[in-house]
């Protein structure tokens, strides 16, 4: 990347041998999930990520940093999203420490923040100030709604993000209130978009020598992630409706039933019914669904999910899927075959965390050390 002033940056992290972003320096000043995911993704690709944490507070606030038992550095989100990073504890209210943070930014290729334009400017860390000292700096900001418009400066939450972003309207049963899908999905969408935008700006800065300000909002990222719904309305005048969820019990759990095809009759021992003229049309097939589902429920009840899934795949039946519980994902033979889960080391021993969303034939990706304790690497 660009040349940096001697002595302005922290000592380099251990080499990442062939990682795509090796040599890229990222300063993560964010406090939320979107920024944490963005810098985790860049770190997975080999960037040296220094997360800057306030001395008297915790990043990735509740839930996230603190474990249920009270350990301030053992929360699940922190261990997953901050893996592979280094932690500097600095007090942005202290002028001397603000100068140290500005020096970090002067040596960086990318800064990630979600504190807002006014708060960063007040601390002397606004885009205009930092880019004057480091013209090649890419400055990536996340906020719920952005700095302009009637929603600028509004606070948000997980359920507000999901509701206002349009996803909640689609979830749940028809005729009942819409439902939230948990897990901070809207912020995770925004974090992935933030990383993508930052990478594009970094690529451009290599050609021009000039950085720029990249902004991502949770509101816009949420809408972008369901373009099929927006397009149905804007292009076709159609309103996408909630269709509900069909779940069938079996002997060791539950199955999700979506769009069954006529091959389901092979499972039910009547393959000839697949060619019945009465169900040849969409209307006929729709009318037959209650009977098919009732018979499928009887067939599935004594069987285990894996057996049902295997038989469905062999018969090429679509829309019949076992519902996994969290613990089963850790033991998934598919994940094991692809080495997706990562075992990372640290002072407290080995820890298994989710791997990166990519595999590369030549390049090393994913963290190899666990998330840091607060201020662990402060210089």
Q: Specify the pLDDT at position 96.
A: 81
Domain assignment of residue 363, yes or no: no
Q: Specify the pLDDT at position 62.
A: 43
Q: Does 294 share its domain with 178?
A: no
Q: Tens of pLDDT along 254-263? A: 999 998 999 9
Q: Does 281 share its domain with 161?
A: no
Domain stops at, among 299, 326, 353: 326
Q: Specify the pLDDT at position 232.
A: 85
Angstrom distance (rounded) from CA 118 to CA 101? 17
Domain assignment of residue 357, yes or no: no
- Helices (H) and strands (E) counted in the chain, each on its own, are 14, 11
Q: Specify the pLDDT at position 231.
A: 85
Domain assignment of residue 366, yes or no: no
Antiparallel, parallel or unpaired: β 213-217 and 48-53: unpaired
Q: Tens of pLDDT along 307-331? A: 999 999 999 998 999 999 988 998 9
Q: Specify the pLDDT at position 153.
A: 86
Confidence of residue 276 (pLDDT cuts 50, 70, 90): very high
Domain stops at, among 287, 305, 326: 326
Identify the CATH number of the domain in which residue 298 sits.
3.30.1540.10
Q: Specify the pLDDT at position 293.
A: 94
Domain assignment of residue 336, yes or no: no
Whether 375 has a pLDDT exceeding 50, the answer reads yes
Q: Tens of pLDDT along 29-66? A: 999 999 999 999 999 999 999 999 887 655 555 446 66
Higher pLDDT, 8 or 272: 272
Q: What is the mean pLDDT of the chain?
A: 88
Q: Residue range 290-315: average pLDDT? A: 95
Q: Specify the pLDDT at position 69.
A: 66
Of 215, 185, 222, 218, the residue nearest 200 (C-alpha): 215
- What are the helix (H) ranges across 69-224? 76-81, 95-106, 117-122, 127-133, 158-164, 185-208, 218-224
Domain assignment of residue 169, yes or no: yes
Domain assignment of residue 233, yes or no: no
Domain stops at, among 326, 342, 371: 326
Q: Does 159 share its domain with 254?
A: no
pLDDT above 90 as % of the chain: 64
Q: Residue range 93-118: average pLDDT? A: 90
Q: What is the DSSP string of 195-248?
A: HHHHHHHHHHHHHHS---EEEEEHHHHHHHTTHHHHHHHHHH-PPP-----EEE
Q: Does 214 share its domain with 267?
A: no
Domain count, the chain: 2
Q: Does 215 share its domain with 68?
A: yes
Q: Does 255 share its domain with 181?
A: no
**Cβ atoms within 10 Å of 299's Cβ, excluding its own:** 17
Q: Does 101 share its domain with 170?
A: yes
Q: Specify the pLDDT at position 1.
A: 45
Whether 12 has a pLDDT exceeding 70, the answer reads no
Confidence of residue 270 (pLDDT cuts 50, 70, 90): very high
Q: Does 113 share its domain with 75?
A: yes
Q: Residue range 262-290: average pLDDT? A: 94
Q: Tens of pLDDT along 190-221? A: 999 999 999 999 999 999 999 999 999 999 99
Whether 3 has a pLDDT exceeding 80, the answer reads no
Q: Does 171 share its domain with 260?
A: no
Q: Which domain holds residue 107?
A: 25-224
Confidence of residue 7 (pLDDT cuts 50, 70, 90): very low
Angstrom distance (rounded) from CA 29 to CA 14? 22
Q: Tens of pLDDT along 326-357? A: 889 989 999 999 999 998 876 566 788 999 99
Confidence of residue 98 (pLDDT cuts 50, 70, 90): confident
Q: Specify the pLDDT at position 59.
A: 58
Domain assignment of residue 57, yes or no: yes
Q: Specify the pLDDT at position 5.
A: 41
Domain assignment of residue 261, yes or no: yes
DSSP designation for 139: E
Q: Does 158 share its domain with 217?
A: yes
pLDDT above 70 as % of the chain: 90
Identify the CATH number of the domain in which residue 63 sits.
3.40.50.10540
Confidence of residue 296 (pLDDT cuts 50, 70, 90): very high
Whether 134 has a pLDDT exceeding 90, the answer reads yes
Q: Does 217 share its domain with 98?
A: yes
Of 318, 333, 338, the residue nearest 274 (C-alpha): 318
Q: Specify the pLDDT at position 55.
A: 78
Of 142, 156, 113, 154, the residue nearest 221 (C-alpha): 142
DSSP designation for 299: H
Q: Does 189 share its domain with 308?
A: no
Give the burial class of 24: count Cβ atoms within 10 A of its Cβ; 0-12 exposed, 13-18 middle, 19 or more buried. buried
């Amino acid at each position: 990347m660009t040349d940096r002033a001697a002595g302005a940056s922290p000592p380099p992290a251990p080499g990442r041998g062939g990682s795509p972003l090796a040599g890229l320096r990222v300063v993560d000043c964010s406090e939320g999930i979107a920024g944490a995911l963005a810098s985790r993704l860049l770190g997975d690709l080999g960037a040296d990520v220094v997360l800057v944490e306030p001395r008297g507070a915790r990043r990735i606030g509740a839930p996230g940093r603190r474990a249920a038992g009270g350990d301030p550095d053992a929360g699940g989100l922190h261990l997953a999203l901050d893996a592979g990073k280094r932690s500097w504890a600095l007090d942005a209210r202290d002028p001397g420490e603000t100068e140290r943070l500005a020096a970090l930014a002067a040596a960086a290729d990318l800064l990630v923040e979600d504190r807002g334009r006014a708060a960063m400017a007040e601390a002397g860390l606004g885009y205009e100030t930092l880019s004057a000292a480091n013209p090649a700096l890419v400055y990536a900001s996340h906020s719920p709604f952005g700095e302009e418009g009637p929603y600028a400066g509004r606070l948000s939450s997980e359920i507000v993000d999901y509701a206002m972003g349009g996803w909640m309207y689609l979830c749940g049963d028809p005729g009942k209130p819409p439902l939230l899908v948990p897990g901070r999905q809207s912020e995770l969408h925004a974090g992935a978009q933030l990383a993508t935008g930052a990478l594009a700006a970094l690529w451009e800065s290599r050609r021009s020598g000039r950085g720029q300000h990249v902004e991502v909002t949770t509101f816009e990222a949420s809408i972008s992630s369901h373009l099929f719904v927006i397009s149905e309305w804007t292009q076709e005048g159609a309103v996408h409706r909630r269709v509900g969820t069909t779940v069938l019990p079996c002997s060791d759990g539950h199955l999700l039933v979506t769009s069954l095809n006529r091959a389901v009759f092979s499972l039910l021992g009547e393959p000839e019914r697949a060619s019945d003229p009465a169900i040849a049309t969409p209307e006929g097939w729709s009318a037959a669904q209650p009977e098919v589902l009732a018979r499928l429920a009887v067939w599935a009840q004594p069987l285990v999910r894996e057996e049902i899934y295997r038989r469905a795949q062999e018969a090429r039946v679509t829309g019949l899927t076992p519902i996994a519980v969290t613990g089963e994902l850790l033991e998934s033979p598919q994940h094991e075959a692809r080495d997706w889960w990562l075992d990372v080391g640290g002072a407290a021993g080995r820890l298994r965390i989710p791997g990166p969303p990519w595999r590369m034939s030549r390049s090393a990706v994913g963290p190899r050390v666990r998330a840091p304790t607060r201020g662990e690497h402060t210089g």
